[in-house]
Amino acid sequence: MTQHSRYDVLFEPVKIGPVTAPNRFYQVPHASGMTNALPRVRAAFRETKAEGGWGVICTGACSIDPSSDDAPLPFASLWDDNDIRAHALMTEAVHRHGALAGVELWHGGASVMNRASRMPPLSPSGIPWMATHVGFMGNLRPKTMDRSDFRAVLKWQSDAARRARSAGFDIVYVYAGMGYLGYEFLLPEYNRRTDAYGGAIENRVRFVREMIETTKDSVGMDCGVALRISLEELRGRPGRNGESEAHEVISLLADCPDLFDVKMDSSPTDCSASRFTAEASHEPVIDFVKQLTDKPVVGVGRFTSPDTMVSQIRRGILDLIGGARPSIADPFLPRKIKEGRLDEIRECIGCNICISSWHDSVPVRCTQNPTAGEEWRRGWHPERIDCVARAERMLVIGGGPAGLECALTLARRGHEVTLVEAARAFGGRLAFETRLPGLSTWGRVLDYRLGRLKLMTNVEMFLDSPVGVDEIIEWAPERVVVATGARWTRMLYSSMELPVGQLDHPQVFTPDDLAAGRVPEGPTLVFDFDNYYMGGVLTEHLAGLGIAVQYATPAGHASAWTIMTNELPLVHRALAQRCVPVTTLHLLSEFDGETATLKHLFTGEPLRLGCRSIVIVGLRAPRGELLAALEARSAELAAAGVRSVDRAGDALAPGAIVHAIHSGHRVGRELDLAERTPAYRRDFPIVECDTVEA
C-alpha cells in the first residue's frame, strides 16, 4: 500500500447530470474580485487551480440581468452575447487541464442595490435587507415581483444558461443562498406572498424549482444543473413533514438539480475565520442532505486536511470536497495529496483577507499564496519559478513573514541564501501573535515556509543573530534584504483622524511590550485605532489573564476593519462573552495613572474611565535603524561588494501579514533583475465591437 492510497477515494470521478467531474475536488463558486473587465486575470487565476488538480472550477457570482447589480462590488455577468467571450477564456483555460467549468448564475434580489443600473431590485414581497454597516447599506427599497417579473427572471436565467453553454461551461447554477433572490423565496421573513409562491413550504420552494426547471430545459442535455442553497436558517425551523424546513426543502427538490451545493446563510458563518471557527464547521447544518437525495452533494468547510476530506466522504456527508479558500491558498492542493506531498500543502490560515479583497472590490489577495491574482498580470505561478543562471550570495535580515518568504523565493530561484534573525525563534510578529486567542492557525504561515526552507541545501539560517552594518560588511554578501519589521508606537489619534502626539507614561504599553512579556497592572484600557484584529485580540488576551479590561476606539465598532474579513460580529460577541465594556467614537487624550480621559470624536464631550494601565494599538512604524546605518555607510558596503540593499515587508511599509508575504515574495523574485518591473500587465475587457454603438 502506498503512503497516500487511503486518499484514493478523493480521486474517484463523480457524475453530475450529463457531465463527469474527474475527481472529488470541487472549487465551489467564490468571489475573485475579477469581473468581466479582467478576463485574462480571471482565466489565469482559475486555470492555475485546474492545473493543480481541482476537478471542477467555478466562477464567482455571475449576474443574469442588470436588475442584479452589486456594483461597485465585483461580480461577473452574462447579460448578453458580448459577455460570452470573456467567460470562454476561462472555460478554455480550465478545460486544458481536464477539469469541468461551472458558472454560478445569480440574481441578487433584495440584497443588491442596483447602484449602477438604477433599476429597482426585485424581491418576493418588497422586504429589503436592512444592513447596519455602511458598506452594505442602501436607500433603494426593492419592488415586489409581479407575474411579469417572474416570467422575466425565468427568461433571464434560461438565456444566461444558454450563453453559459456557448461560453463552454459544463455546470450551470441556480442560486438560492446568502440572502439572494432564490433564498428570499424560501424564508417567510422575506416572502410574505399569499399566492402560489408564498405561505406553505411547498409554495416557497416553487420559484427555486421553476428556476431549476427552466435551466434544465435550456441546457440540461449538455450541462449539469447545480442548486446552491443556504440551509442554516431553514435547519433551525421545525418542519411540518420533516425534522426541519431544511429537510423539507431538500426532500421537495431532491430530484430536481443534478447537484446540491450546500452552504450557510451569511458570509460570517459560511466563510468564517479560523479565529472563531474550526475546519468542517458546516457539517452540523448540512449533514442530512445526502440522506434525502441521490444526487451528489458538495459542501465546504475550509478543508485542508486530506483525512478530514476522506472522513466527509466515508461518513456520507459529502460526495465532493468543496474548496474556496483552500484552493486560493494552495491551487495545487489536490496534486500534492495525489502525489503524497502532504508536507508541501500551503494550508489556508482562515484569515479571510481573500474576502476583504471582494469587499475592497479588487482582485483576490491571499496571505498564504502571494501569487493569487498575480498569475497573468505579473506572470507568477504558485509552484514554478525560473532559476537564475548565476547564484548570488543573498543575506536576508529578519525572519518574520516577509524575511521567510523572501528567503524561500530567493532559494527557490537557486541563490545562496543566508537568513538571520535576532530573536531566539523565527516568526517575527507571528511568534507572539500565534499565541493570542484564536490565532494559532496563523502559525501555518511559518510552518509552510520554515518546512520548505529547512529542506533546502542552499539556505543557511541563524537565530539569535542581531545583525548590524559591521557584520554585513564582514559577511560581504552580494545583496542584502532588510526585513526587520515594524514597531508599535505610543502615538495618539487626533480629531483630524491622524496619529499625532505621544502618550508617555510608565503604565502605557504597546503590543510590542506585551509580546516582550510585560503585563499591564490593574484595570486596563485598550485604545485601538489600528482597527484590524490586534486591538480586539489583545483585549481578549488580557481578559483571559484575569485583568479587568475595557476597549475604546474612535471607530464605530470594535476592530472596525474586520467587517472586511467577516469577523466583526464575532469580535463583538467574543468581547461581550468576556464582559468587556466597549466604547466607540472616542479619542484618548490624557492619562494620569488613575484615570483615562477620552473625548467624543464629534462633540468633544469628555468621558473619564478609571484604569491603571493603557495599551495603545495604533500606529506602526518601520524599524529603521539598520537601514539608516546602511545608508550612512553605503560606500563601505559597495567596497565590500554589496550590490544592492532592499527592504521588504513591514520594514518597507507596515501592513498585515498578507502585505509582508507579498512584499517578501516580490523582492525575492525581482531584486536581481536588470530591470525591475514597474507595475504589472493591465487587463482589459473583451468587447464584440460591431454590436456596441459608439
Q: Is 429 in the site for ligand ADP (CB under 6 A)?
A: yes
Q: Is 62 in the site for ligand SF4 (CB under 6 A)?
A: no
Minimum distance between the CB of residue 368 and ligand SF4, rounded to whole angstroms?
4
Tell me the CA distances in angstroms from 669 to 74, 368, 406, 412, 424, one per residue in order. Answer: 29, 16, 8, 10, 28
- With 0-12 CB in 10 A as exposed, 13-18 as middle and 19+ as buried, what is 129? buried
Which is nearer to ligand ADP, 108 or 399 (by Cβ)? Answer: 399
Residue 368 cell numbers, joined: 498564504
Count of residues in contact with ligand ADP, rule CB under 6 A:
25
Q: Is 367 in the site for ligand SF4 (CB under 6 A)?
A: yes
Q: Let me know: does 394 contact 479? Beta carbons within 8 Å.
A: yes
Q: Residue 599, SS3?
A: strand
The interface with ligand ADP within residues 570-629 (CB under 6 A) comprises: 623, 626
Active site residues: 180
Minimum distance between the CB of residue 519 and ligand ADP, rounded to whole angstroms?
21
Minimum distance between the CB of residue 591 and ligand ADP, rounded to whole angstroms?
27
Q: Is 562 in the site for ligand SF4 (CB under 6 A)?
A: no
Q: Is 649 in the site for ligand ADP (CB under 6 A)?
A: yes
Q: Let me know: does 220 contact 170? Beta carbons within 8 Å.
A: no
Of 567, 551, 538, 552, give the one whose Cα is nearest residue 133: 567
Which is nearer to ligand ADP, 601 or 652 (by Cβ)? Answer: 652
Q: Is 333 in the site for ligand SF4 (CB under 6 A)?
A: no
Minimum distance between the CB of residue 444 and ligand ADP, rounded to whole angstroms?
15
Per partner kind, with CB cut-offs from 5 to 8 A, the member of ligand ADP, ligand SF4, none near residue 213 is none
Cα torsion angle, 405, 408, 413, 415, sign:
positive
Q: Which residue has the cell 505561478?
A: 381
Per partner kind, with CB cut-offs from 5 to 8 A, the member of ligand SF4, ligand ADP, none near residue 445 is none
Minimum distance between the CB of residue 27 and ligand ADP, rounded to whole angstroms?
29
Per partner kind, with CB cut-offs from 5 to 8 A, the member of ligand SF4, ligand ADP, none near residue 368 is ligand SF4
The binder of ligand ADP chosen from 9, 37, 140, 423 (CB under 6 A): 423
The binder of ligand SF4 chosen from 201, 208, 318, 351 (CB under 6 A): 351
Residue 188 has a CB neighbour count (10 Å cut-off) of: 16
The binder of ligand ADP chosen from 135, 238, 284, 466 (CB under 6 A): 466
The binder of ligand ADP chosen from 184, 210, 213, 421 (CB under 6 A): 421
Residues present in the chain in total = 694
Residue 322 cell numbers, joined: 468543496
Q: Is 328 in the site for ligand SF4 (CB under 6 A)?
A: yes
- With 0-12 CB in 10 A as exposed, 13-18 as middle and 19+ as buried, what is 315? exposed
Bridge-based pairing of strands 499-502 and 491-493 is antiparallel
Per partner kind, with CB cut-offs from 5 to 8 A, the member of ligand ADP, ligand SF4, none near residue 397 is ligand ADP
Residues 6+ apart with CB under 8 A from 223: 17, 18, 19, 161, 164, 165, 169, 170, 171, 172
Measure the CA–CA gap between 569 and 556, rounded to whole angstroms. Answer: 13
Alpha-helical regions (H) of 493-584: 511-515, 533-544, 568-577
Q: Is 467 in the site for ligand ADP (CB under 6 A)?
A: yes
Q: Let me know: does 437 contact 540? Beta carbons within 8 Å.
A: yes
Minimum distance between the CB of residue 268 and ligand SF4, rounded to whole angstroms?
13
Q: What is the x/- site pattern for ligand ADP, positions 365-404, by CB under 6 A?
A: --------------------------------xxxxxxx-
Cα torsion angle, 243, 296, 150, 190, sign:
positive
Q: Strand order in 613-617's β-sheet?
A: 508-509, 613-617, 524-528, 549-552, 582-583
Bridge-based pairing of strands 14-16 and 19-21 is antiparallel
Which is nearer to ligand SF4, 153 or 564 (by Cβ)? Answer: 564
For 174-230, the DSSP string reads EEE-TTSHHHHHH-TTT----STTSSSHHHHTHHHHHHHHHHHHHHTTTSEEEEEEE
What are residue 297's DSSP bridge partners? 260
Q: Is 350 in the site for ligand SF4 (CB under 6 A)?
A: yes
Of 335, 312, 404, 383, give the one whose Cα is nearest residue 650: 404
The binder of ligand SF4 chosen from 64, 310, 329, 514 (CB under 6 A): 329
Q: Is 53 in the site for ligand SF4 (CB under 6 A)?
A: no
Q: Is 420 in the site for ligand ADP (CB under 6 A)?
A: yes
Q: Is 662 in the site for ligand ADP (CB under 6 A)?
A: no
Q: Is 353 in the site for ligand ADP (CB under 6 A)?
A: no
The binder of ligand SF4 chosen from 366, 394, 534, 574 (CB under 6 A): 366
Which is nearer to ligand SF4, 258 or 567 (by Cβ)? Answer: 567
Minimum distance between the CB of residue 401 and ligand ADP, rounded to whole angstroms?
4
The interface with ligand ADP within residues 479-538 (CB under 6 A) comprises: 483-486
The piece of 68-76, 148-156, 292-300, 365-373 that touches ligand SF4 (CB under 6 A) is 365-373
Per partner kind, with CB cut-offs from 5 to 8 A, the member of ligand ADP, ligand SF4, none near residue 353 is ligand SF4
Q: Is 304 in the site for ligand SF4 (CB under 6 A)?
A: no
Q: Is 335 in the site for ligand ADP (CB under 6 A)?
A: no
Q: Residue 615, SS3?
A: strand
**Phi, psi dihedrals of residue 320, rounded to the nearest 5°:** -125, 135
Estimate to the nearest angstrom the gap between the alpha carbon of 278 and the chain centroid.
15
Minimum distance between the CB of residue 391 and ligand ADP, rounded to whole angstroms?
23
- Contact set with ligand ADP (CB under 6 A): 397-403, 420-423, 428-429, 466-467, 483-486, 623, 626, 649-651, 660
Give the residues lining the site for ligand SF4 (CB under 6 A).
325, 328-329, 348-354, 366-368
